[in-house]
Structure 1
Amino acid sequence: MSAKTGSAGSSAAEPVAVIGGSCRLPGGVDSLDSLWDLLVEEQETAKPVPTDRWDAEAIAAGLPDRMARRMRLGGFLEGDLGAFDAQAFGLSGTEANWLDPQHRLLLMVAWEACENAGMPIDGLRGSQTGVFAGMYAMDNYLRGHRPDQDSSAYWYSGGMHGVGMGRLSLMLDLHGPNMGVDTACSSSLAAVHLACQAPRAGECPTALVGGVSAGLGPEVGAASSE
């Protein structure tokens, strides 16, 4: 997730500055500095599937060799994806419990990106800051997670792409354009394109832009390998 700024209403050739960012990526990358170190050192982040995620060997056993090799490796975030300071965002424990992990990651890295850019959240509240973010499939739906009657509304709002983006603007009180982007593998790149256009079109002077994709199980990978 990055914070970008430009001159509202500027020409198509006017530069757009990236003024801060934050990330959570495989290989223990949790900051721009650690991302830079990984790139400079040319580290490989694909690792064998951790045993506490799923039984990769059991899945690979029923697949052709070329597919089986793919199912034994993956890019995994370190730590607990469920860890989330709900109180910081004014969310109840029940609502936070039903947030798709991708929604949680989006909120956390957006907050950190603003801090990294030297733009504290309190200073952005009420501003015309825009939000453009890519998001892919929701594993809470694909994996059949279903709520009881008392939490059905939270399950619905906690798993929709558009609600994830809207919640970010709502929680941070950002009044600029808000757009969730899903173009499959190019979602984040498409979001960056839109976020660069917005200041030039006079839609907002500053924007949060990025993307999130976190697969909780092997289903999507197995289906894609076919």
Structure 2
Amino acid sequence: MSAPLGGDRLALDITARPQAELEVTTAAATIALRGSTTDPAGYDVQLTADEYASLNWLPQPLISTRGSTLHQTYTVSLAASSRLLLREEQLLGRTAEPPGHLTTRLTVRRAHRLILDQHTTYGTPAPAWDGPAVLIRHRACGQLLVVTPDPHPIEEPLHLGGNPADGYAVLARRQRRPAHHRHCAHPGLPAPPPRHRARTHTTQRVEVGVDLKPCQCSPFGGRRWWSPPLCDQQD
């Protein structure tokens, strides 16, 4: 939708009642525009999931255009036995266009207890949002949040690569499927043949043996690491 414009106040209040399964999406992206006034726009989303309910909030991206100012909030209230899947995506500017000023705040409470309070700000006059510690030249960001009542064991962190200045490789566990190591692809570097593989099992133990190579494609000016796929199964 081509909204909100400057000065607009939009609000959504969505509730999944007990034992209901609700999925909400949008037909198109939300575009924050400048409008006829310089007043900031507001977009407030209230999400509630009652006992044993499942709520999926999967909208299309939010686009922050030049000259716009938007304050967006997500307020999530979950029962102890409910489930949440929340996707949030922001595109900062259209093609070859600087973004407007965008602030977002996400708060999540489960059984009346605060479990997440996240605040992000992009675009002028926010300081350092496009600096080397945040986005640099990138203009798209987002997150996927999953909250479930099921207990999850706490695993020890797995670091591949010993020098923080060089960056770390990432080993991501995929549920009910073997783990894959997502390598950093660079069009100028041919992929080497596989030397070692790592496999995961249904237990928490992960065996790792990879041959890491430097890849000169880090946006931070340092090096990232890459390796061949860690299992025979491909996507």
Q: TM-score, normalised by structure 2?
A: 0.22
| Structure with the bigger percentage of helix | 1
| Structure with the bigger percentage of strand | 2
Question: Of the two, which has the highest radius of gyration?
Answer: 2
Higher relative contact order (CA 8 A, sep 6+): 1
